[in-house]
Structure 1
């Protein structure tokens, strides 16, 4: 028991840091995928041929 108490004496932010990093990376990947989707499906303006 005493060993477990000593082990969890690290600040909670250090315990949560790896999870926060993974969440931030996932959010950026989703934003990138969404941005690529928006660019790919955006309507292009009609081009008129001028001779």
Structure 2
């Protein structure tokens, strides 16, 4: 349980760093496109294994 809480803390904490990096290097629509492509690829991989 402690390890799960630590993982959540690290993952959610790293999103602010990722957003700061993305804002400085990518246009907003490009950032949204990458987010949706990654989400779609993960969902596709999950459904293929199911």
How high is the TM-score relative to the length of structure 2? Answer: 0.46
How high is the TM-score relative to the length of structure 1? Answer: 0.45
Work out which of the two has the higher radius of gyration on C-alpha atoms and give 1 or 2: 1
* Structure that is richer in helix per residue: 2
Higher RCO structure, 1 or 2 (CA under 8 Å, sep 6+): 2
